[in-house]
Amino acid sequence: QSALTQPASVSGSPGQSITISCTGTSSDVGSYNLVSWYQQHPGKAPKLMIYEVTKRPSGVSNRFSGSKSGNTASLTISGLQAEDEADYYCCSHAGSSTFVVFGGGTKLTVL
């Protein structure tokens, strides 16, 4: 199973909004509303930011939002802050034979 496709890097200035895309296929992203997003700062464990496409865990800022259209899911971060600079990974259920598949990761730089 191939990884989901994410841009290698995105950047934005403080206060701006950015969107990270996550493109899969009709066998994963397109078939299930089971996309999640993780934030990982250098040397730290990943942190759940969005689950089931649009849901935010308790404690995650409402500046983070998720969506999906067809085979592509997206993570939008509004009002960029310096602390948002990190790597972001998407993940999707991909059927019982594969369980889940991750995207390759996107490095967000806050200029």
Partner 1 sequence: EVQLVESGGGLVQPGGSLRLSCAASGFTFSTYSMHWVRQAPGKGLEYVSTIGGNGGSTYYANSVKGRFTISRDNSKSTLYLQMGSLRTEDMALYYCVRGGSSWYYFDSWGQGALVTVSS
Burial of 8 (0-12, 13-18, 19+ CB in 10 A): exposed
The CB-of-45 to partner 1 minimum distance in angstroms stands at: 4
Nearer to partner 1, 8 or 82 (CB): 8
Tell me how far, at minimum, the Cβ of 33 lies from partner 1, in Å.
10
Tokens at 97, concatenated: 């034979």
CB 28 within 8 A of CB 99: no
User: Is the CB of 47 or the CB of 63 nearer to partner 1?
Assistant: 47
Cα first-last separation, the chain: 35
Nearer to partner 1, 13 or 58 (CB): 58
Q: What three-state secondary structure class fits 5?
A: strand
Token duo for residue 83: 């602390």
Which residues of the shown chain bind partner 1 in the complex (CB under 8 A)? 1, 3, 32, 34, 36, 38, 40, 45-48, 51-52, 57, 89, 91, 93, 96, 98-105
41 versus 111: smaller Cβ distance to partner 1: 41
Residue 1: how many CB atoms within 10 A of its CB?
14
Minimum gap (Å) between residue 27 Cβ and partner 1 = 14
- Measured from the CB of residue 15, what is the shortest distance to partner 1 in angstroms? 29
